[in-house]
Amino acid sequence: MIPSHWYNIVPDLPTPPPPPLHPATRQPVGPEDLAPLFPMELIGQEVSQERFVAIPQEVLDVYRLWRPTPLLRARRLERALGTPARIYYKYEGGSPSGSHKPNTAVPQAYYNAREGVRGLTTETGAGQWGSALAFACAQFGLDCQVWMVRASYEHKPYRRSLMQVYGATVHASPSPVTMSGSKVLAGDPDSPGSLGIAISEAVEVAAAEAGTRYALGSVLNHVLMHQTVIGEEALGQLDEMPDVIIGCTGGGSNFAGLIFPFLREKLAGKIDPTLRAVEPVACPSFTRGRYAYDFGDTAGLTPLLKMHTLGHDFVPDPIHAGGLRYHGMSPLLSHLYELGMFEAVTKSQSESFEAGVRFARTEGIVPAPEPTHALAETIAEALRCKESGEDKVILTALCGHGHFDLGAYDRYLSGRMEDRTLPQERIDEALSELPG
Ligand SMILES: *Cc1c(COP(=O)(O)O)cnc(C)c1O
């Protein structure tokens, strides 16, 4: 069954997450500061203290195109690994754009349209968020402009085509059409771009144009809340409760969407699963970043967010998991991490693709590069169970398919994928630019 409500974890926490601050006054931002960018309903959800928020009928009608999503047991993978562990995965790749992103794109487009907005701007890394928002805008008659990180724009022309099929306008970022983009291009005409730069461009245009607002595909509290449909459905679908829950984290939305309903039950003392985030070696915000106030974008146009960050100037190596190339992390998840509510580990690109290929050859689904990180840790956990003889129940989110990522699989299969390490100096340098 599709859940009737989204779950807001904030009222169940021992302490609330630190608030976003206005960059000039360093005071908590108020609704009036956010009004040029977001509709009032989403601003309200961002600071809501309600545990459950009803999903509007119009949103449920669109969710019904692909929800509820399947929860599957990976018996063939288990057999190939020879593990006594039982592995379950919640598959979000059957949505129209192929990932979990429409779970929040649809309500965001809906609330904007209801408040009379004409168009939305956004950024996209690998193209998953851009195509989800383009699809959602088409459902509610909104214009959609997307700044796509140049590295992905060049490597994934069909993701761009998909956005255009849904009716969106797509710019390669950094682009010459914004001040933030022009500034980066002046310093580095060959910049591969980053999510931080693309966010600056989309925010700049939304702030300047009346009738145009901005949509973010991860990081913010309301986005994480919309994604809880994943975990709520999984709670109802599982016959046995998981011992370990594993998800990949870029800005944290699919991981939060999967774990928050389970964490609610854990905080209530009913279950006790281990929760584990997996991030790429190339962009390790939890494991090597600092918990500090930082900008959400490169140009410094957003409020200051208290989060695990590698510094807003940090440009991650252009790994294929474009959705995981973000310098920061959700402030809400960062707060939970500080409270010790979950663990975090890193996986290299080639170990992740190895897991993706293994999964495809056993379970049949070709995973997007992002969730291959979660699969690499899921397989590692299942192999540890094989060593110890423990029959743990493992749950993971297979948050997207990789049909637009076959170029990346090609590189992996032909031995052209190399793993780069991330020297501490690069992190230190970007962290030295944190706002004081
Ligand atoms: C965007 C994306 C991610 C990363 O974003 P989160 O907010 O951390 O979920 C991961 N996987 C896929 C398939 C994505 O599209």
pLDDT digit of tens for each residue in the chain (436 aa)?
999 999 999 999 999 999 999 989 999 999 999 999 999 999 999 999 999 999 999 999 999 999 999 999 999 999 999 999 999 999 999 999 999 999 999 999 999 999 999 999 999 988 999 999 999 999 999 999 999 999 889 988 999 999 999 999 999 999 999 999 999 999 999 998 888 899 999 999 999 999 999 999 999 999 999 999 999 999 999 999 999 999 999 999 999 999 999 999 999 999 999 999 999 999 999 999 999 999 998 888 889 999 999 999 898 888 888 889 889 999 999 999 999 999 999 999 999 999 999 999 999 999 999 999 999 999 999 999 999 999 999 999 999 999 999 999 999 999 999 899 999 999 999 999 999 7
Pocket test for ligand 1, best of 95, 101, 162 (most atoms within 8 A of CB): 101
Identify the pLDDT of residue 360. 98
Ligand 1 atom with the smallest distance to the CA of 217 is 7
Dihedral Cα 167, 173, 176, 182, nearest 10 deg: 150
Ligand 1 mean position, distance from CA 242 (Å): 22
CB 31 within 8 A of CB 48: no
Please provide the DSSP assignment of 10-32 as one string.
Answer: GGGSSSPPPPPB-TTT-SBP-HH
Identify the pLDDT of residue 151. 87
Ligand 1 mean position, distance from CA 249 (Å): 7
Which residue ranges have their beta carbon within 6 Å of ligand 1? 99, 101, 128-129, 218, 248-255, 323-324, 368, 370-371, 399-400
SS3 assignment, position 7: strand
Pocket test for ligand 1, best of 195, 253, 404 (most atoms within 8 A of CB): 253
Instruction: Encode 379-410: b = buried (16+ Cβ within 10 Å), e = exposed.
Output: bbbbeebeeeeeebbbbbbbbbbbebbeebbe
Identify the pLDDT of residue 194. 84
For ligand 1, atom 13, the nearest C-alpha belongs to: 400
Q: DSSP character for 400? A: B
Ligand 1 mean position, distance from CA 369 (Å): 10
The model's pTM is 0.97
Identify the pLDDT of residue 155. 85
Identify the pLDDT of residue 175. 98
| Three-point CA angle 11, 327, 310, nearest 5° | 95
Identify the pLDDT of residue 322. 83
Dihedral Cα 225, 212, 30, 312, nearest 10 deg: 70
Calpha distance 386→358 (Å, rounded):
17
Identify the pLDDT of residue 12. 98
Ligand 1 atom with the smallest distance to the CA of 92 is 13
Identify the pLDDT of residue 28. 96
Ligand 1 mean position, distance from CA 324 (Å): 7
Ligand 1 mean position, distance from CA 253 (Å): 7
Task: Give me 252's structure tokens.
Answer: 């944290």
Ligand 1 mean position, distance from CA 293 (Å): 23
Calpha distance 60→144 (Å, rounded):
22
User: Domains, the chain, ranges and CATH?
Assistant: 59-98+222-429 (3.40.50.1100)
Task: Give me 125's structure tokens.
Answer: 């890394």
Ligand 1 mean position, distance from CA 389 (Å): 33
